[in-house]
A and B are shown apart, each in its own frame.
Chain A
Amino acid sequence: MVDERLYELFKEKAELVNSEVYRFKTKKEALDFITCFFTQYGISVEEGKFAVWADNSFLSEEEKQRLSSSYKALGFEITKIKVANSKIGISTVDWALAETGTLVQDASKIEQRLVSMLPEVHIAIASSKKIFLNLSTLLPFIKPENASFFAMITGPSRTADIERVLTIGVHGPERLIIVFVDEI
């Protein structure tokens, strides 16, 4: 069950910190939406502009193969060089916190962190069913015993270090696109 109230609160708070929030019923719709960005950002092997997808469970092997053959510049194997030359990074996050518009991810695998840090755009896939109210309500469920790196992400990378002017996209992505899927 999706808690509509939590979703609406999440969307409101996330957009306040420059996240872009979308929601789809099915995985297929979400996938179609995500691939639009490959075209939009003109990823291509020839131009050395890649996209990297640190997937754990969202895609089936078949889907991966289909995507790989359609988009040559899309990679599921993450190397430092490839991520560094990627326009888009895609990953799945584990939870969301409504009150602050925050995504929470077990990012023990370095791939999960790199795809959400080095490219200009981070597309984060999340389950609409896994939205918590806030950190206090989530904390009992996350166990540092089982994960060496928990990452919380709230909007794109930002700074106000020059004259206190808010500027988006410093060392991390300048766009954070959150794709909620109801059926996952």
Chain B
Amino acid sequence: MKSKEFKYSIDEALKNANITGALSRFSEAYVVSRAKAFEGIDFEELRSKIAQIKSYVAENLNILAVEFKKNAEAKGAKVVRLNSPELVRQYILNLAKEKGVRSIVKSKSMASEEIHLNPYLGEAGLEVRETDLGEWIIQLAGQKPSHMVLPAIHLKKEEVAEIFSKEVNERLSSDIPRLVKVARQQLRDKFLEADMGISGANIAVAETGSIVIIENEGNARLVTSLPKIHVALVGLEKLVSNFTDISPILTALPKSATGQMFTSYVSIISGQTPNIDGSMKDLHIILMDNKRSEMANDPIFKEALQCIRCASCLNVCPVFRLVGGHVFGKVYTGGIGTILTAWFDELQKSEEIQGLCIQCGRCKEVCPGKIDIPELIVEIRRRLNREKGQSFVQKTIFSVVNNRKLFHSILRKASIFQKPFIQEGFIRHLPMFLNELADFRSLPAIAEVPFRDRFNNINQPKSNKKVIFYAGCLIDFAYPEMAEDVIKIFNKANFQVIFPQEQTCCGAPARYSGVFDVAVNNAIDNIKALLKEDADYIVSACPTCTAALKYEFISTLKSQGADEWLLLAKRVAEKSYDLSSLVKMLCDSKQLALKVISELQRVTYHDACHLKRTLRVFSEPRELLKRLGLEIIEMFESDVCCGMGGSYSLKFPEVSKPILQRKLKNIKDTAVDTVIMDCPGCVMQIKGGFDKEGSTIAVKHIAEIIAKQL
């Protein structure tokens, strides 16, 4: 459950037009510039290489740390490996005291933020200056960064002018080039006078003892060149084995971070360098552990050490762009930030922020370290449940879902209780506590007669060709007419449809909430039900269910150690198809012919998250629609989440609502009167949103469109 403070921080962020506006504009521009930067590059190949380099590091952390130390020290550096934040802070402070340091200039280092170094050194009487422009602004303002790469993105130029004016005791205008000049002048003397420079590092090469720093402003070059003492604070995971390993990382990092081909500066420092007076620099490299080696020993979370800190997962996240890093994360923010917070801080600290992930999978597509961020967040949920137990409400819900008969009988009863509230098939006002949760969209009525009770009354032609229909809860109980359309389609292709009554919830709600013991029971119940009768195919008209049938039953069974079911789960997976893919296959093999719609109609198509990114299906439904004679006007961000995310829209209605509103706007901007999709959940969300607006735009599942053209 959300704490009051957390809910308040979300509400405040959503009300803050600066944050939402700046991050949304950036996220839109980012997608374009990133794509351009990666033009002509095989991204999959590149990130596989990076994942390989970094996963090797996770396996060999200790050996590489020793090798790095040996090679860097041979070149005059002093290398220490320190485990805790406290030891790191003390090391730097002691060094500063010993050398009589008074002023320190710093270039950007997430590791230093992770251990809250600045306040510690400040309290000890040292003057510490951040010199990265964004970090300096944040330091002067006494705030926290809102984005890992763009720390001051939440501030407007007027606010920056205000902050700088105070610093220089002069009324400054909000002219950006002028403000940048002020920063240059103010910090120039600090660079020249500083006794110590503290930097981070993007890469540390074991083979050569080199550290690599990338940046645009030039402050890191000054921090590492001018003061006579240089302390580089490096997270252990920054190690790579060979010097040539830096190439793929340097290729991907700027493109992923800001959509730049390359940053202005890359510095490769290998050991001591001379100072201007001819003496040699005092170079200290701290390899900071802080739970990283524990992480490397965790069979699941070691994958997170493949992160190169580009923040692309923040930039594409539909939730992050609404609430920003002050809400979504601690020091590290967004998707990867949630995972790093759970480790570097503690699991409990991630309890609230992990809930913000809607599991749309967009971050996984762009991660240059090939980290399955949504899956690791599910794992956090699972461990939180294990440690703390579930909340009473969640526990009650899932104990119902765990028992198919009870679950289905409750859903049946719900159709009776809701009666007074239904209007034209929508629930205008939900009863009791659910009421305030649904105020931004209408919800569909629970069908009076669910599909499972209608199935036996459907007259089907007998056939040797058989297909098993997996309905999923939403179609079964809220949209039985979609199921009837599916039957019509397959009957027309001369298939007899089988509907095993013992099928139950696909387990996705439990799984995405980290309740694996329920998800595994769901998987086993369904496998039993679906393999009872033989058939050519298993089809579902819900992409989330299809993803469960094809992939998640297997991974859930594996992770719960229920290996005896794996073979059967694989049999289910091999036979399972999403509706569009299977219908297209039947059309291509001439088993099914569709009639062309007589008059030209323009429609738009919304890509459901699991269809596009888990099942990788996006051309099939479009191809079908085109064959029907429909012209598709593509909407902006057609594959960005609609905000439904299963129960997400009930847990975070305040976040789900603005995500939906963007989607509705993008649909309206195409000026068509019909939007089509493959997912009943998206239909529920988008239809509900338009209904609430009183819009006449028709929201249709693709089954409905196809069934009319048989």
Contact = CB atoms under 8 A, between A and B. Distances in A.
A177 to B, nearest CB: 15
A148 B216 contact: no
A158 to B, nearest CB: 5
B271 interface: yes
A100 interface: yes
Interface string B494-529: 000000000000000000000000000000000000
Contacts of A100: 261-262
B176 A165 contact: yes
A27 interface: no
Contact of A148 (B75, B266, B275): B75
B649 interface: no
A86 to B, nearest CB: 13
Interface string A128-156: 00000001100110001101111111111
Contact of B276 (A78, A150, A162, A167): A78
B172 to A, nearest CB: 12
Nearest to A81: B192
B269 A148 contact: yes
Contacts of B268: 144, 149-152
B600 to A, nearest CB: 42
A103 B192 CA distance: 25
A102 interface: yes
Interface of A: 13, 16-17, 78-80, 84, 99-102, 108-111, 113-114, 117-118, 135-136, 139-140, 144-145, 147-165, 167, 169-173
Contact of A162 (B75, B132, B176, B251): B176
Please report whether the interface of chain A is mostly helix, strand, loop or mixed according to DSSP.
loop
Contacts of B276: 78-80, 110-111, 114
B188 A84 contact: yes
Q: Which 5 A/B pairs are nearest by Cβ-Cβ distance?
A: A172-B218, A161-B134, A152-B266, A144-B270, A150-B268
A164 B216 CA distance: 13
Contacts of A108: 273-274
Interface string B122-152: 0000000001111001000000000000111
Interface string B573-614: 000000000000000000000000000000000000000000
9 contacts: A84-B192, A100-B261, A102-B262, A114-B225, A139-B246, A150-B270, A154-B263, A160-B258, A171-B222
B208 A157 contact: no
A91 B92 CA distance: 35
B571 interface: no
Contacts of A150: 267-268, 270
Given A13-B261, A135-B250, A140-B244, A117 B221 contact: yes
B184 interface: yes
B348 interface: no
Contacts of B152: 161-162
Given A13-B261, A149-B267, A158 B217 contact: yes
Nearest to A79: B276
B464 interface: no
Contacts of A149: 267-270, 273
Contact of B157 (A135, A158, A159, A162): A162
Contacts of B22: 163-164
A148 B218 contact: no
Contacts of B131: 171
Given A147-B270, A150-B268, A153-B264, A113 B225 contact: yes
A84 B420 CA distance: 79
Nearest to B134: A161
Contacts of A144: 205, 208-210, 243, 268, 270
Contacts of A171: 131, 184, 187-188, 191, 217-219, 221-222
Contacts of B26: 164
A85 to B, nearest CB: 11
Contacts of B247: 135-136, 139
Contact of B262 (A110, A113, A154, A167): A154
A131 to B, nearest CB: 15
A7 B29 CA distance: 30
A164 B33 CA distance: 13
B531 interface: no
